[in-house]
Structure 1
Amino acid sequence: MNTARTTLKRIVEDHARILRREQQLLESNAQFLASRIEGILYGHEHAATEPRFLPSAAQVFTARDDYYFLHRSGRQNLEVDFDSMEIENDRRSIPDPSASSLHDLLLPVLKNLKFRYSDLVLWIDIELSDATRITYPKSTSRMFLREPLYRDADTQHVRELAWSDPQIDPRTRLLVFNITSAIKDETGTVQGHVTLAVPVSALLHKNPHLGIFSDNAATFLASPETAPGSLERQLRIVAREQSQETQRGHWGRPGTDTWLLSDDVQSYAAMLQDLTATTSGIADMRSKGEDTLWAYAPIEPGGAALMVLVPKADVVRETLTAREFILAQIRSHIRSMGVIVLIVGGVVCAVAFILSKLFTRNISMLATAVARIARGDFAARADVRGKDEIGQLGKAFNRMVPELEDRIHIKNALEVAQQIQQNLLPTESPRFGGHDIAAVSEYCHETGGDYYGFIPRQGADGKSLVIAVGDVSGHGIPAALMMASARAYIRSQAACGKGLDDIVGRVNELVAEDTDRTGRFMTLFLLELTESGAIRWVRAGHDPALVYSPVEDRFEELRGEGLPLGVIRQTDFELHERPGLPEGRIIFIGTDGIWETMSPDGEMFGKQRLKDTIRTHHDLPAAGIIREIIETVNAFRGTKKKADDMTLAVIRTG
């Protein structure tokens, strides 16, 4: 169930993120198309003339498959002409001679947009102030004329850009979004509108991963609104995916206002509060009398949200089925073993006068040892004698038991090591002066060599806080052990009240003794915050810390000379000091696992992307900046496996 919660939340968040990007893409293209039409109609063209676009036969075939008319019997294909557009004018009784010229100018623009985004754009409608209506592509089938073409009156008041609620497209009876952008003349007066009809199913794709949890998963597009006659906000269903019986893969809208409700008032209110704060999540609530997992992710602040409801009974059904299958297999094996024992017993009885004692003894001891191993007693051995097949089996069994025990011990030891190492790291951020401080480590294996710590101490100039960030070469258990030793050295030396350079020098001597002839080393960056506002730092082979000034929009580095710990036993380290940093400066200390992260294409994340992320989110708290950096790095890495540990500390000066 925990795995299902995590996976469902991630699925909905990823789906909402893709939907927001496609929404921005469609808005940009609607505005760009309106600009091109303005240039064609009013002579202030903003882009080069559209070249004649010739889609391939495969593109045309794929695009034509999206045009069909839904009815109760199924779907009927619509005939469309991608080389023509339909121009109508209700106010003219005779053809307009300029229509042919308008057709030649607009067609390449509309055709190019259609085939560039053929999976998103279904129809392109243009309405001008002189009652001219243009539709692309031209439909040569009149199936949709059985119902009047719906025109949203609100589009007449659109000044820039607007999205409609999901509507039934009368030409196909598909549920569509209408994205409308205003067309203006050279004076800025609205002279018409261009509308992109986008199928809801094209934006809200069916996620194939939901099937691993339940075939009864329900997907909704819902909006937090105040219900009529109520003072509380509730979720109104804007659209929902159709069930298997009603054309799965398409979306429909309720005929009347329909609300997505739950009996769990507190959880429901918390979910609405998350949506208002543009926060995704997952909740356990009842829906229509059934325990259900509600995964939700907002698409836009205060607006529509993507909702996925999965019955909890479906989530655990496969687990329960697997449990019954395993128990049945065990019972079957027990019955099989019983049959084998009876057969062996019969054979033993037949030859008891020759091999009864030896044969039964070996079988009995081997069976007893197997039973003890099944109960977890790894001290069990089968004292089988003889050189026949039973003797060979007993020897192989005795060789197998220590190897099995070692593997279990190693697995348990790794789990314990991981827990111990996590306990070595701080559990919460410290408070010092008015500074906002946060740090985190993420390992690529169960254990790692990255380290960070907060060490408060008392010096000659008052109280101070030492922030340490280190990186041990290599990964796994050896790096973790060296990190634990270095942590102990740093904390013990920092407590004596010496300067940071003396502390690092002594720690280097201790680490050098541990790493002699091993080839291992550790980089370290120590930063000390003082009550007076001054900062001191020592750099031992570590990458310089970054200091960002939001006022000046400028980065600088806290540099200094110094070899990594453990390279040379006797070496000096430089102590640097600054009288203080103005309020609002952001100090970042990290390990190379961040900027050396590789994308699936082999590109390195780099420090420039790190700086851009800090610059973009500088107004967040320290923990928020860390969260955004980690999310940006993980998104850049994609499906590629994490290759190095990542540790980062952020201090916002106060």
Structure 2
Amino acid sequence: MTLTRRLILMVAACITLAIITISIVFGWLGRHALIEQAEAQAQAVARIVAESARLTEISLEEMQSVLVDDLSTLAFAIASMPAQASPDFGNLLAEVAARGNISSLWLVDKDLAVLASSVGDYGAVVSGESLPDGLPRAALDALTSGRRFRLPLGGAIDGVRYVGVRVDGGRALIAGQPDAVLDPVRAANSLPVLLAALINRDGMRAIQVFDDAQVSMASVGDDMPETAGRLAARAIEGTAADFDFGQARLLVAAPIRDTAGITIGATVLSMSTQRLEDMLLDYLYYGMLAAGLVLAVGVGVAGLFAGRIARPVSAMTAAANQVDSRVFRPESLNPLARRADELGTLARVFQHMAIEVQAREEHLEAQVRARTTELEQKNRLLEESKRRVEAELDAARSLQAAILPQGLPAHPSYAGNATMIPARELGGDFYDFFAIDDRHLGIVIADVSGKGVPAAFFMAISRTVLQSSARENRSAGTCLAAANTMLCGQNPMDLFVTTFYGILDTETGTLTYANGGHNPPMVIRRLDGSVQDLPRTGGVALGVAPGLDYAEKSVMLKEGDTLFLYTDGISEAMDGDGREFTEARLRSALTDAHRLTVELVLADVTNAVGNFVGAAEQSDDITCLVIRYNGPRSNQS
């Protein structure tokens, strides 16, 4: 992707992300604002309800006070009239009651006997009437005795309130007015009427008012869910506004407080969320419109600036490719190098660097040509030296192979074969067998420490020393001790050689041997095919320290028994995964050795090692020697 496209995409992505973020923030702020507005409306309704209840109560009290005053004035006017306990006076009371919308009028004496009365639309009654039960006797006595001029006579009795006025002559006039005359006032100031006036304003679909015991006092609208009670309870208990979202509605509860600030109930508003949804849709619509517009402008501006930025970069890229192709002309960047900004500085630095690089390349090419010519001459010399070394190594390998015996001395009492496969051009392993006399056969297998030419030379020395010592010493242990002392005196490189030396008595089958730190040979018995290690003698490798003694032991070989001698190049041969062949696998390869010829035994072992190692590099010399005892010569004849 080009730099221009990357810049345009980066600007577009940043603008889009900014617009999306702003839209989300505005949506959240709008939602929060609507919730705050709903809470404010609920609190306003709660205050209106509280104030309405207070004003209704005050109005009723004032109306009742006015009613008492009116009744008192009327009673006083009537009492001031000269009156007699006569039907004409009763008719007057009846007319006054009818015209004044008064429930009843009584004129009583000091004994509270009714002198005249009128009850509603009924005619005057002079006798036979009695005052309503429940009027306070003390108040009536205070009026008839002249101690009080006017007294309200307690609360409503059967829906009627009574007022008494003193009349001269120890009498009292009692007037009654029904509480029902205040019903229009109560109805005009009732909660349902007030709430109905607020419904369907600002999205309010239902209002419900609860008292402090969470009992519904009034409700308008049909969109109030059952959860309104729980929300009101939370507002009453928490004394703060609370809200909850439902299906397409927003419930808001606000506590109602009296003038002392005590919570006396709660108002719950059910409001439509349509405003919120419309607002969010508007945000989305206008946000997408603004995003498209800003994105188009931003992409255009980004494309313009990206082109201005990318053209110099493209010129620098082309110049770098020309430098790589060695066709760069420094003057091609002169227009760009004349710029006063960072790109001009970069072009000037690049011109200077390119000139130096071209000069250095020319100098390096000249040096490379000279060095190449010199290396070609040295390579020719090295190849000639390599051919000489390989020829000399081939000659040394041939000589080393010639040093090792190619076969056992012909003898009817034994048969054998051996092989040595060096890991390098020259090996450090060797084997030997030689006739000590007509009856005894010397058997040697050894492994020199190290590899290559030093090990090969030390191997030749060790073989010569062992043969010389074997002819002078008929004991295997004494032979190794003498050879060790001689090798320690001829060992400038501090090499050592592990050695097994055995002497086979062809007449008896007795093998007397000593071991100088070498792998113990194995005996394969003819009778059962068992594979056994020769008992160890505990000797140290030759060449380590002079003057050492070597113990020797003997083992009896029976007719058909096979002796297998080997170096650690067999047991420690490794495959590609670093696993060793081990002595256990060697024993498995020798399972059928008692039934095979010595040549096949040798082939089976080397094949088993080769199959295990596979394509892995040979890590050490592989040497093994197989000898089978055929019995004494007397049995052969």
TM-score by length of 1: 0.38
Structure with larger Rg: 2
Q: Which has the higher contact order (CA 8 A, sep 6+)?
A: 2
More helix by share: 2
TM-score by length of 2: 0.39
